Structure 1
Amino acid sequence: MIIEITNATKFYGKHKAIDNLSFNVDKGRIHGLIGVNGSGKTTLIKALVGIHELTSGQIKVFGEPVFENPAVKARIGYVADRNRFFKNYTVNALIKFYSEIYPKFSIKKFAIYNDKMQLPLNSRINSLSKGMQMRLSIMLNLSRSPEVLVLDEPTSGLDVIAINDVLNFIITEVNTNQMTVLISSHHLSKLNALCDNITIINHGKLNTHTLLNEHQNQIKKLQVIFTTPIDLSSFAADTAILDIQTIGSVHYIVTNNLPHIEAKIKAIGANLLEELPMTLEEIFVYANKN
């Protein structure tokens, strides 16, 4: 395991921001971290990159604690949800600064990325838009060739084309150098296509941690039509039912136990029973209901 999070708990005063979280991330994997606003994602990420110290529990990267460990931090890239650069620096000056403090930083690699991103190198940071500053942060961190890259809402302020370019940069780095990635984003459809694993947290607690494909196999949506009108209100008491919606004669049933519900529906005379695909957005919604 490259990242090991064990019983991580963080208090701010009396507020418990993260609550006994445990999960691991393997080398060369892209791991998604999702949750509603205030769920504890950013707090966990800041503890993971060594900005905040946990109240209890531990976070290890490469088998070592991260907090106050410069040698480990040097191997981790971090793209924050809000970038805090030297505002009066030009982009070129910031590139020079990174090349001086990070031995593995590649100016050539940055130039390759910027062929796509097209940032004005002589512009001052404070003149760049939020989206341009996010592009800059991503390119600077990737140009360091980190072994672990942690991204907190990296698509914030980016247009669709820039998002696709950034994700392609990340995928290439993972495939080429086995970089390990932890990414938090509200663009769940992008995570659906990008991630090998996902962790869902809710109110600072672990909701679900699993391989993405396994997770999608757990929650299913059925489209059901009966020969004669049927009242499905009694189904609502079944714990295997996560949601029932009826539009005209068509019933949409979401379940976490497909064989059980299929048998139950067939027993009362379903004329049509068809499984529908589930998006990560839908899975996230239903996972947070339980």
Structure 2
Amino acid sequence: MLELKNYSLNYGDTKILEDISFSLDKGKVLGIVGPSGVGKTSLIRGIVGVYKGSYGDAFLNGKEVYDNPEIKRRIAFVPDEHSSFYLITLKEIINYYKIIYPDFNEDKFYKINRLFKIPLNKRFLQLSKGMKMRVNLMLAFSLECEVLVLDEPTSGLDPILKENVLKIIMNEVYGKEKSVIISSHNLGELERVCDDIMILNDGKLEYYNSLENIKKNIKKIQVAFDMPVYEEDLNIEGIFSISQVGRVFTIITENYNDDFKEKLNRFKPLFMEEIDLSLEEIFIHRLGGKCDYEEIFE
């Protein structure tokens, strides 16, 4: 099990991450999402032991990750950018990994490269951004580690390669019971592969739940009433977005349950329609807030 316990990270007097805790079991995929600049990459680097927290720690199977080479060998990390291998060829990179990681699966690397098609004699610096990401992914998949931590793993890849990467990730998880953490802005991809979702905002854990519960509990409701009803009347716990056009209210709630329905029914609705939301729509409504565009563009 991978755990983060009360993890906080400061740069001088600036708080980057504040009191983040979660656990991830084998065979599960966690997606980390959030606006740009809220600390997702810093959190990823804390999880893999690149950064030591100002408070709290990251643990794998009960052992601290930071400054622990043996534990770090069980974690494969794909950063959003990799500059360590610029002057050497792919063949030399493979030889390096075989020395450092006894369980490096060279055959698996070559099998994946049949899909990714990276020339083995090219130097890393000669590769495009997308090709570099493919190399990083092939190396990570070939390490046969317990945990895969991927920071924007499909960045720079075309749609066909993205599909291949997602299939490999799912095979690693469900075929070999690995734990996977993915940070990505592509919420549609995360929705396909993730079991749990973490929303990070301003360095804090804004929301954490299983994708199953998110889909069950966070809903868009369109409702009209047979009596005068105003937004302030609908002060029901769990509503984080509400708008009105004529007599029709559009409500986004994270507590769509029998109690919520009962409270709405007190106002004698003429109709009430439940609409499922995509993960991207949930993210926008959860963090987007309200914006007065007329004021901005006047």
Question: Is the TM-score greater than 0.5?
Answer: yes
Q: Residue 252 of structure 2 corresponds to which residue in structure 1?
A: 254
Task: Give the Cα separation in 1 of the matches to 2:229 and 2:8.
Answer: 46
Letter paired with 1:157: G
Q: Percent identity?
A: 39
Shift of 1:23: 0.8
Q: In the alignment, is the contact (CA less than 8 A) between 2:240 and 2:286 conserved in 1?
A: no
The aligned length equals: 288
Residue type at the aligned position of 1:71? E
Distance in structure 2 (CA, Å) of the matches to 1:19 and 1:289: 21
State the distance in 2 between where 1:63 and 1:255 align: 37
Question: Following superposition of structure 1 onto structure 2, how do residues 57-96 of structure 1 map, counting pairs within 5 Å?
Answer: 57-96=56-95
| 3-state SS of 1:288 partner | helix
CA distance 1:235–1:257, change in 2 (3 Å): farther
Residue deviations 1:98-138 (CA, integer Å, cap 9, x gap)? 22221111221011111111112222211111111111100
Deviation at 1:76, TM superposition (A): 0.8
1:233 maps to which of 231, 234, 237: 231
1:120 aligns with 2:119: yes
The equivalent residue for 1:276 is 275
The residue type paired with residue 95 of structure 1 is I
- Kindly report the root-mean-square deviation, in angstroms, between the aligned alpha carbons of the 2 structures: 2.1
Partner of 1:198: 197
Q: Name the amino acid aligned to 1:5.
A: L
Assess, with a 3 A threshold, how the Cα gap between structure 1 residues 281 and 69 changes in structure 2: closer, same or farther.
same
Q: Which amino acid aligns with 1:140?
A: L
Q: Which segment is superposed worse, 68-77 or 119-128?
A: 119-128
Shift of 1:19: 0.4
> Which amino acid is the alignment partner of residue 222 of structure 1?
I
Preserved CA contact (<8 Å) 1:216 1:283: no
Distance 1:67 1:241 in 2: 40
Uncovered stretches (5+) of structure 1, i.e. residues with no partner: none
How far the C-alpha of 1:276 sits from its partner, in A, is 0.6
Instruction: Tell me, yes or no, if the aligned pair for 2:237 and 2:255 is still in contact at 8 Å.
Output: no
Report the alpha carbon displacement of residue 251 of structure 1 after superposing the two structures with TM.
3.6
What does residue 14 of structure 1 align with? 13
Question: Counterpart amino acid of 2:10?
Answer: F
Q: Secondary structure at the match of 1:210?
A: strand
CA contact (8 A) 1:39 1:202 kept: yes
Report how far residue 152 of structure 1 moved. Answer: 1.0
Structure 2 residue runs of 5 or longer lacking an equivalent are 290-298
Q: Structure 1, residues 18-52: CA drift from partner, whole Å, max 9, x if none?
A: 10111111112111111211222111111111111
What is the TM-score when the length of structure 1 is the normalising length? Answer: 0.91
2:267, 2:20 → 1: CA distance? 43
Name the SS of the counterpart of 2:44 in structure 1: helix
Deviations 1:70-107 (A, max 9, x none): 10011110000111232121222212222222111122
Structure 1, 3-12 or 260-269: larger mean CA deviation: 260-269
Pair 1:179-2:183 in alignment: no
Q: Distance in 2 between the 1:119 and 1:249 partners?
A: 59
Query: Where do 1:153-192 residues align within 5 Å?
Result: 153-192=152-191
User: 2: CA distance between counterparts of 1:238 and 1:68?
Assistant: 48
Q: CA deviation at 1:145?
A: 0.8
Between the aligned partners of 1:192 and 1:17, the Cα distance in structure 2 is 27
Structure 2 CA distance for aligned equivalents of residues 179 and 267 of structure 1: 48
Match of 1:244 in 2: 242
Distance 1:247 1:132, change over 3 A: farther
Once the two structures are TM-superposed, the CA of residue 227 in structure 1 deviates from its matched residue by: 6.8
> Contact (CA 8 Å) 1:207, 1:287: kept in 2 or not?
no
| Secondary structure of the corresponding residue to residue 50 of structure 1 | coil
1:252 Cα deviation (Å)?
2.2
Q: Determine the C-alpha separation between the residues in 2 that align with 1:200 and 1:111.
A: 36
Provide TM-score, normalisation by structure 2: 0.89
Match of 2:295 in 1: none
Q: Which amino acid aligns with 1:163?
A: K
